[in-house]
Amino acid sequence: MQRIGAWTPITKKGRKGTGPSFRWLLVMVPAILAGCEDDGDPTTPSPGQEVTVELDFTDPTTGDADGWDADFAHFSPQQEEIMEFAWGHEPLPDDLEGEGYGLMVGATNRSDDVFMYWTGPVEGLEPNTEYDVRFTVEFATDSPAGCVGIGGPPGESVWVKTGATLVRPEPVLEDDYWLMSIDKGNQSMGGEDAIIVGDVANAESGCHADERVWELKTLESEDPFFFSTDDQGRGWLLVGTDSGFEGRTVLFYTRLTAEFSPA
């Protein structure tokens, strides 16, 4: 993946990896397992089985970032060159030396509404099943808390959203504006396909540029999120930010966990 360059939406040209490589923790429900035999295939859950997907993007050798793509929406094509899009599986900033890599994504919010995100496939779920999904996301941020910003504060007005979708989340050009193919909500509101889990404000940075400090932040979803699989037990995971801050935001996603419990 490239760090900075000409942006091309994944609807036209993919930035795919070599395919998904996930570590699965399968948490069996005892009542369902009573009297059942283990077929030895951890990606084919039994009815009623809980599945936890744990992705660690800090180690580039695990392959957890394979198949994950970054993309952007909510701006016009005329604004594209001044948005300063950036993405890639990159080493973390020096402040976090020793922490490894992260899924970096960045943009300068000239549209006052930019949505920047990473998405990747999820497999091994029970087919045609509705799940209650709980998310935990860890990321590196240098956006300060409690500061005044253009359009909104740089920390509290950049909302982190997570979700799961049946179709791949993609930017769609409508009326000369890049929108999303899914319902992620808008800025401080969640949607059918994504919920807000918090914001990017950290506790260490000061409000001036020379006072920025990178730190890791972890957010957990509090609201219920329901997702139904297709007939092959597949879907797409999503993590991104909806911004009302009219400046630059850069993040490094380091870990993502999605706990799927049959609803």
Per-residue confidence at 47, pLDDT binned at 50, 70, 90?
low
- Answer whether 191's CB lies under 8 Å from 168's CB: no
Give 17-38 pLDDT, tens digit per residue. 333 344 444 333 333 333 344 4
Give 171-216 pLDDT, tens digit per residue. 999 999 999 999 999 888 899 999 999 999 999 999 998 899 999 9
Q: What is the pTM of this model?
A: 0.85
Q: What is the DSSP string of 205-238?
A: --SSGGG---EEEEEE--S--EEE--TTS-EEEE
Per-residue confidence (pLDDT) for residue 246, from 0 to 100: 87
Among 46-60, 114-128, 172-186, the range scoring the smallest mean pLDDT is 46-60
Among 3-7, 136-140, 198-202, 234-238, the range scoring the smallest mean pLDDT is 3-7
Q: What is the DSSP string of 41-87?
A: -TTSPPTT-EEEEEEE-S-TTS-TTTT-EEEEESB-GGGGGGS--EE
Give 221-263 pLDDT, tens digit per residue. 998 899 999 999 999 999 999 999 989 999 999 999 999 999 8
- Answer whether 240's CB lies under 8 Å from 219's CB: no
Among 12-26, 44-58, 139-153, 184-198, the range scoring the smallest mean pLDDT is 12-26
Question: End-to-end CA distance of the chain, in Å?
Answer: 37
What are the structural domain ranges in the chain?
A: 74-132+144-255
**Residue 188, CA distances (Å) to 92, 115, 147, 160, 184 in order:** 27, 12, 18, 9, 10
